[in-house]
Amino acid sequence: MEEKEQSQLILLKNNFVNEGVINFMTVNDLKINEFQNNNKILIPSDLKQYFLLINGSNDMPLDNLYEFYNINRITKIFNEFKDWNGVPDYNKLEFQQFENVFIFGNYEFNFYSFGIELSNTLSSINRIFIFCGSEYRIIANSFSEFIDLYLDNPEEIYV
């Protein structure tokens, strides 16, 4: 793991502790490989290290109303919102366009949702999307870039 990646994850973990997370339910390589096999994708190293060291905000929103999902909760965008009833209206989103996007977190109880584009080949670019109903935009090109935004410039995350 790169030194920058490790220090970034330590900052994120400390942020989570400051936001009320007490226990971290990390996973091992076996669980990560199972997720990759089940979804026919490869997880980039920055996201893999996140699962190994943090793995979500313990199934609860943080005090700042962000929630980061653990590996068991991360799912394709269609599965996350196919039965959605609420505001914003995610049913108007063209799911086929985001076939390889996996939802990994949200802000303010799904008012905004965050997804990462994953495929069966490793790439230095794994676009991060923010969704608000049928509206969306790309906010980062990797999970690490998203974490940098979250830690340093959270006002840039919104649609």
87 in Cβ contact with 108 (< 8 Å): no
SS3 43: coil
- List the pLDDT tens digit at each of the 159 positions of the chain: 578 778 999 999 999 999 989 899 999 999 999 999 999 999 999 999 999 999 999 998 998 899 999 999 999 999 999 999 989 999 999 999 999 999 999 999 999 999 999 999 999 899 999 999 999 999 999 999 999 999 998 877 875
Q: Could you tell me the residue range of the domain that residue 122 belongs to?
A: 3-156
Sign of the alpha-carbon dihedral angle for 114, 131, 108, 78 = negative
Q: What are phi and psi of 131, to 5 degrees?
A: -120, 145
Instruction: Examine residue 154 and say whether the peptide bond preceding it is cis (omega within 30 degrees of 0).
Output: no
pTM to 2 decimal places: 0.94
54 in Cβ contact with 12 (< 8 Å): yes
Between CA 55 and CA 28 the distance in angstroms is: 10
55 in Cβ contact with 25 (< 8 Å): yes
| Structural domains of the chain, count | 1
Please give the C-alpha separations between residue 136 and each of 18, 89, 112, in angstroms, as whole numbers.
Answer: 29, 12, 9
Burial of 156 (0-12, 13-18, 19+ CB in 10 A): exposed
CATH number, domain containing residue 135: 3.40.1580.10
- pLDDT for 159 equals 57
DSSP element (H, E) containing 128:
strand 128-132
